[in-house]
Amino acid sequence: MKKNIVLFVLFILPIVAYLFFASGVNGYTKLPIVTPNTADFGAWKTLDSKPLTLNGKVTILGFCGTELLKNRGNLFNLNQKIYQRYHEFKDVQFVMLCPAGTESDAKKVVDALGAFTDVAQWRFVFASPEEISAYYDQLKLVEKLDDKLGTPKVYIIDKKRNLRGRKLVKDVMEGYNTFHPAELSNEMLDDFKVILYEYRAALKKNNNATRKI
């Protein structure tokens, strides 16, 4: 009996603990809504001249500001850690809201990413400083944009235009800092998986209901 207990503690228990913690806390719950019913975009110009909406899409939303080229490393981090894993999902888009006049800088970033990535789901949209500030304010976030109208953080918007994030013990994790690859690989990747799992589970449930009918 003692031998069996020792073997369990040494081999089985660590494996069970690893599986529990590797799955992440959010793997067992829905990702909370931080801000419900956020606004859709206006008829703003896009880099590819195609219409853009948040409706019916899981959106990673960012605010690049006027120093887009200076901070392009943040987008490369996001591309490597998140985008390349999920860009083939048709209902996923990565949208960067930029000040009008930065179109050429955005084109340079897209061209650089396109050298090793399918950039079809990267979308850049342009608006006036006033429109960007007003749009950011309605998200009701604690942190503010910097004086260049940018932030290193990106946000998850679900298909119903709800901003999703983590409600921690003493705080709320509203977004994910693209300057820190570890945060993208851990917290953001975990939360993004939760969102996708929600829609997969709902789709499976609807398909099962249809079959029963």
User: pLDDT for 77-110, tens place per residue?
Assistant: 999 999 999 998 989 999 999 999 999 999 999 9
pLDDT at 58 over 90: yes
Pairing of strands 92-99, 122-127: parallel
Residues of the chain above pLDDT 90, percent: 71
pLDDT at 16 over 70: no
- Name the strand (E) or helix (H) holding 78: helix 72-78
Mean pLDDT of 65-69: 97
CA angle 116, 93, 152 (to 5 degrees): 80
pLDDT at 46 over 90: yes
pLDDT at 37 over 90: yes
Mean pLDDT of 153-173: 88
For every residue of 128-196, which 3-state class applies, written as one string?
A: CHHHHHHHHHHCCCCCCCCCCCEEEEEEEECCCCCEECEECCCCEECCEECCCHHHHHHHHHHHHHHHH
Mean pLDDT of 114-123: 96
Give the whole-angstrom CA distance, residue 209 versus residue 213: 6
pLDDT score for 124: 98
Give the whole-angstrom CA distance, residue 1 versus residue 148: 67
Mean pLDDT of 137-162: 96
Average pLDDT, whole number, for the chain?
86
Tokens at residue 100, please? 């009008």
Residue 11: pLDDT band (50, 70, 90) is low
Q: Domain 32-212 has what CATH class?
A: alpha beta
pLDDT score for 5: 58
pLDDT score for 55: 96
- Tell me, what DSSP letter sits at residue 27? G
Mean pLDDT of 121-126: 98
pLDDT score for 212: 42
- Name the strand (E) or helix (H) holding 206: helix 189-212
pLDDT at 18 over 90: no
pLDDT at 7 over 90: no
pLDDT at 209 over 50: no
Tokens at residue 26, please? 């959010």
Give the whole-angstrom CA distance, residue 103 versus residue 106: 5
Mean pLDDT of 1-27: 50
Give the whole-angstrom CA distance, residue 153 versus residue 176: 5
Residue 199: pLDDT band (50, 70, 90) is confident
pLDDT at 19 over 50: no
